[in-house]
Chain A
Amino acid sequence: EPEVTQTPSHQVTQMGQEVILRCVPISNHLYFYWYRQILGQKVEFLVSFYNNEISEKSEIFDDQFSVERPDGSNFTLKIRSTKLEDSAMYFCASSEWGTIQPQHFGDGTRLSIL
């Protein structure tokens, strides 16, 4: 069964450094999402992306965050100048052709900011 893959599984970064999290969505999917989950808390929406532009973003997704689809398969989340509070699990998801379609999640990247 097709799945969303994320790399790396664990990223450790010094505070203030830039980090890029990578995702390969399911190949025929058109909508892409990033969510995050701080340890022990619920999953929170960050941003959705369709047709090479941001569709929606939450209050969490401020100017330090950006997303990109650099080629036909990858979808990336960049965090500039990381902060301690950015430590969390970051999940990528994709859906087939619309936001009412099921969203399928990857297993996440654990980001640890030191």
Chain B
Amino acid sequence: GENVEQHPSTLSVQEGDSAVIKCTYSDSASNYFPWYKQELGKGPQLIIDIRSNVGEKKDQRIAVTLNKTAKHFSLHITETQPEDSAVYFCAPRGGSQGNLIFGKGTKLSVKP
């Protein structure tokens, strides 16, 4: 089955800096790559996603890049704000399955 690795597990940045989280997956047939943000006591919230026919997608301060050859995709947050502090999960969808396979999460702390 799909093996998903996410790095780093924790990330601390100063407000205004950029943050990058990387997700590596094993299933070469994976075709859908979302990132979720989870705040304390809440469910995962989809923040950005990308499909396998696209290399990069941007939505204001958030971007996702995909390298299908190397089987990894990354979340980029620019101009970080304290409200960006949360746990971020990558959750690629396997090629033969409909369910998402979540990484172990990255706890992002943005210090004012």
Majority secondary structure of chain B interface residues (helix, strand, loop or mixed): loop
What's the nearest-Cβ distance from chain B to residue A72, in Å? Answer: 22
What's the nearest-Cβ distance from chain A to residue B99, in Å? Answer: 4
B99 CB contacts on chain A under 8 angstroms? 33, 45, 48, 56, 58, 99
Closest B residue to A110 by beta carbon equals: B41
- The A/B interface has a contact count, at CB < 8 Å, of 57
Could you say which of B44-52, B54-62, B65-73, B77-85 contacts chain A? Answer: B44-52
Q: Which of A82-113 contact B (CB under 8 A)?
A: 91, 98-100, 102-108
- Using a CB–CB cutoff of 8 Å, the interface residues on chain B facing chain A are 31-32, 34, 36, 41-46, 49, 51, 89, 91, 93, 97-105
Known: A55-B98, A107-B43; 6 extra A-B contacts, CB below 8 A, are A42-B89, A43-B91, A99-B97, A100-B31, A102-B49, A103-B46
